[in-house]
Amino acid sequence: MEWVVFVLVAATAIGTALGLVIRPNPLHGALFLVANLFCVAVLYLMLRAEFLALAQVIIYAGAIMVLFIFAIMLLVPGRAEAGPDPLARARRLALPLAAAFGLAVVLVAGRTRGAALDAPPGGVGAIGRLLFTDYLFPFEVTSLLLLAALVGALTLAKRRAGA
């Protein structure tokens, strides 16, 4: 069963990577990259690297991709898509498929709830404790640097649009 999931996730990862490279629209490319990052997170979960999977989803697919999409929307203005929606049928299927996927995740999570009773010494708890005690200052400095980069990008985009 595990190899079937691996083959499906690997094929999806390859397909989304190809979509990222082939699509000329940068916004579509960014969305393909988000899907690819989720596939990599599933592969991390299959390797029992839960922290890496969560970090992949939260940091890369969540925060950084939001910044990418935000930058694309700012730097490529006026590229609104027009015309009939070629994916109208697929969009109607998206909600039921997402509900079925969510149900599958809940069933698998309920089945494996008591599987990890012994927490490894280098697990998420230990990393979190170190991150918010010994390494709190570098963590906060990194967040301020990211904020400064975002403000700088907005300032440059505003000057370019106004000039």
pLDDT tens figures, 44-101: 888 888 888 888 888 887 888 777 777 777 776 655 555 676 777 777 887 888 788 7
Domain boundaries, the chain: 1-76
What band does 8 get if pLDDT is binned at 50, 70 and 90? Answer: very high
For residue 23, count CB atoms less than 10 angstroms from its CB and return exposed for 0-12, middle for 13-18, buried for 19 or more: middle
- Helix 65-75 to helix 136-162 angle (10° resolution) is 10
Fold classified for 1-76:
Four Helix Bundle (Hemerythrin (Met), subunit A) (1.20.120)
Query: pLDDT tens-digit profile of 134-157?
Result: 888 888 888 888 888 888 877 887
